[in-house]
Amino acid sequence: MNTNAPELEAAAPQTPGINGAANSSRAWLGDAIPDVPLTKAQSRVVDVIARNPQLSSYADIAEIAQRADVNNSTVVRAAQHLGYSGWPDLQRELRSRYLVMISTEDTLTEHGEHRSPLHDALNHDIENLRLTLDSNTADDAEAAIAAMAAATSITVVGIGSFAGPASVMAHLGSTMGYPISLENRGGVHLASSTNTLGPGDVLVVINMWRSVRQVIVAAEAAKAAGATVIAISDMRRGRLAAAADHLLVVASEGISFFQSVTAANSLVYGLLAGMEAAHAERSRAAIRRTQQLWKDLDIYLD
């Protein structure tokens, strides 16, 4: 079909939401596609997405439009109608769920061979950074910063690879004098570090790729106890997003079997800069004390 031709989408009758007879082909989507009324054209877009996990996770908008027999703008409008800023935002969510659905080993096949692992990794993370920039507004970040700046205590949770950005936040936050601690374990340690959280406290959860059940349950418990939950995740929907008072979305796909934390680290650096500015005098006084301790403890060679 001619994908540039005008389409009488607005005049099409509304159809029921997606949770109909074809649910089996949509199970991988989870709550990424909400059950909202759709036009006939939008329903075709959703059907193409649901039936083609790999295609919808990686194809460009023109191919999705061609498969659905609509024009490109209809795909954009469908994504916006589903609660996303546009097709790239929706596709990032789809790809995050697709990568969870396949095995860790299969991700190696998905990504293929590298011409130059170093350059491919750097170029891919440049794209991850761009997607992350597009996925969060300045207001989103400022709201999270304000919550941490006013917190009685801050607990940062990150497990496995995602303990990296969590450690950066806790380490530099404490350097600035914030009452912030790191929890990078699970089980009884996670329970002990979060069981006293309540009003005035903030729990920051950094979780991408597969949802860690213990971390999600801890976030839900903290929220129920009155704490403020800030989530840094690669999914805009799901249990962690539902538990979050403030959600910051990062792109996390790597070029091998592992996820990349580059965008998450950059986001954390931005939050830390905002936290420093929120209490500039206190932060600088704490930094000076820390630097003096470095000297007193004879930590560095120079």
pLDDT digits (tens, 9 = 90+) for 127-157: 999 999 999 999 999 999 999 999 999 999 9
According to DSSP, the residues that pair with 183 across neighbouring strands are 157
Pick the CATH number of 14-101 from 1.20.1090.10, 1.20.120.140, 3.40.50.920, 1.10.10.10: 1.10.10.10
Residues 6+ apart with CB under 8 A from 71: 3, 4, 5, 6, 7, 65
**Contact assessment for residue 43 and residue 74, using Cβ atoms and an 8 Å cutoff:** no
Report the chain's mean pLDDT, rounded to a whole number: 90
Distance CA 250, CA 133 (A): 8
Q: Name the least confident of 115-119, 221-225, 277-281.
A: 115-119
Both structure tokens of 132: 């992350």
Strands 14-15 and 38-39: antiparallel
* pLDDT of amino acid 99: 87
* pLDDT of amino acid 25: 65
The one-letter code for the residue type at 255 is I
* pLDDT of amino acid 45: 96
Mean pLDDT of 187-208: 97
**Contact assessment for residue 231 and residue 246, using Cβ atoms and an 8 Å cutoff:** yes
* Distance in Å from the first CA to the final CA of the chain: 68
The one-letter code for the residue type at 2 is N
Mean pLDDT of 278-294: 96
Residue 51 predicted with pLDDT over 80:
yes
* pLDDT of amino acid 9: 41
Q: Give the percent of the chain with pLDDT over 70.
A: 92
Distance CA 181, CA 184 (A): 10
Under CATH, which architecture does the 135-296 domain have?
A: 3-Layer(aba) Sandwich (3.40)
Strands 153-157 and 228-233: unpaired
Taking the domains of the chain in order of start, what are their residue ranges?
14-101, 135-296
CA distances from 204 to 53, 68, 162, 196 (A): 31, 40, 12, 15
**Contact assessment for residue 75 and residue 64, using Cβ atoms and an 8 Å cutoff:** yes
pLDDT band at 1 (very low <50, low <70, confident <90, very high): very low
Distance CA 111, CA 131 (A): 18
Residue 52 predicted with pLDDT over 70:
yes
